[in-house]
């Protein structure tokens, strides 16, 4: 017997939520309304920009609502008047009041880009790479009062590859989340899913990153710095200074070399290499960006801005 289709209100804003919206659109389940953040000015030109979820919802022809806050007077009716069976919430950007969550029979379901209870918080993808985890994944869970603490419904896992950046892992997890949310709703409709409480003793946090977090500490080991570069690509990006010149580090590799030079010191390598001593080992900077704003391979950068051994990054 085919399980009944569920009726839902979808809440989401960034790129990560779009594959799930598309997957639910193709599923038997029925999206009654899409709620996303208001259009806002972005970028240097401060041009009004639609959220990625709004752009997708417009293409698909959904009714769209953009309340300023989940606590404004009309949010309850926008979310609950369509009489959904549940909410699907993916990086929406607002916490839902308990009165709203208590209204649909099945409450709210969230996708989180980690293997909960590890990396609760705003930047789980980045911190998984920065911390050197061997795997990551996505979790569907029931929405609870505290952020990312709800009972777990389903998980899906993926290895973190040695060359993964936050961008590549983000895209892979977004696709996995799309498949997982449909499977979760299918099993909810069939009544054959068991919610599992999180073990708070195993919980770790993934706090929001800032631009200041991207400054490289050359006293750290080369392998740690290399992971930080990948984990902060494309945002907030990692950077260092050479004299007063700010340099953004795009790609780097910890290499099998030893140096007794102070951390941050450029050390001798091949003519087209940029090697820097760290607190443990040597980091090869493969691609970087200077004040010109153009990304350059290290060899191309050095042709225009030579850095002799002994130059210091801070």
Query: Which 3 state secondary structure label does DSSP give 113?
Result: coil
Average the pLDDT over 198-204 and give the result.
98
Comparing CA positions, the residue from 17, 142, 23 lying closest to residue 87 is 142
Confidence of residue 48 (pLDDT cuts 50, 70, 90): very high
Residue 291 has pLDDT above 90, yes or no: no
Confidence of residue 123 (pLDDT cuts 50, 70, 90): very high
Measure the N-to-C terminal CA separation of the chain; round to a whole number of Å. 65
Residue 311, phi then psi, degrees to nearest 5: -60, 150
Mean pLDDT of the residues in the chain: 96
What fold does the segment set 211-304 form as a domain? 3.10.25
Over the stretch 15-28, which tens digit does the pLDDT of each residue have?
A: 999 999 999 999 99
- At residue 1, the pLDDT reads 63
- Domain 7-202 grouped into CATH 3.40.50.170: yes
In the chain, the percentage of residues whose pLDDT exceeds 70 is: 100
Over the stretch 203-257, which tens digit does the pLDDT of each residue have?
A: 999 999 999 999 999 999 999 999 999 999 999 999 999 999 999 999 999 998 9
Helix (H) or strand (E) holding 282: strand 282-289
Give me the torsion for CA of 292, 297, 298, 301, rounded to 10°: -30
Residue 145 has pLDDT above 90, yes or no: no
For the entire predicted model, the pTM comes to 0.96
Q: How far apart are CA 39 and CA 29, in angstroms?
A: 27
Sequence spans of domains, the chain:
7-202, 211-304
């Amino acid at each position: 017997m085919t399980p009944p289709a569920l009726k839902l209100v979808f809440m989401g804003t960034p790129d990560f939520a779009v594959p799930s919206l598309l997957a639910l659109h193709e599923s038997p389940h029925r999206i009654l309304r899409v709620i996303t953040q208001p259009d806002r000015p972005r970028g240097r030109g401060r041009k009004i920009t639609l959220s990625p979820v709004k752009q997708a919802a417009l293409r698909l022809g959904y009714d769209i609502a953009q309340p300023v806050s989940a606590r404004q007077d009309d949010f309850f009716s926008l979310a609950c008047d369509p009489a959904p069976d549940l909410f699907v919430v993916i990086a929406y950007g607002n916490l839902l009041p308990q009165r709203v969550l208590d209204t649909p029979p099945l409450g709210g379901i969230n996708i989180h880009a980690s293997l909960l209870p590890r990396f609760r918080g705003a930047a789980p993808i980045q911190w998984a790479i920065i911390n050197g985890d061997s795997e990551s994944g996505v979790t569907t869970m029931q929405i609870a009062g505290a952020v990312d603490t709800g009972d777990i419904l389903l998980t899906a896992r993926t290895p973190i590859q040695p060359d993964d950046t936050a961008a590549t892992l983000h895209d892979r997890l977004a696709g996995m989340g799309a498949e997982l949310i449909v499977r979760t709703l299918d099993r909810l409709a069939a009544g054959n899913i068991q919610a599992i409480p999180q073990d708070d003793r195993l919980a770790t946090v993934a706090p929001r990153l800032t631009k200041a977090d991207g400054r490289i500490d050359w006293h750290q080991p080369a392998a740690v710095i290399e992971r930080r570069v990948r984990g902060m690509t494309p945002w907030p990006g990692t950077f260092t200074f050479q004299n007063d010149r700010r340099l953004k580090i795009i790609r780097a590799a910890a290499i099998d070399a030893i140096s007794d030079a102070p951390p941050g010191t450029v050390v001798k390598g091949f003519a087209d290499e940029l090697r820097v001593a760290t607190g443990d080992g040597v980091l090869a900077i493969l691609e970087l960006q200077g004040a010109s704003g153009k990304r350059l391979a290290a060899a191309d950068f050095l042709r225009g801005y030579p850095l002799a051994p002994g130059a210091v990054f801070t």
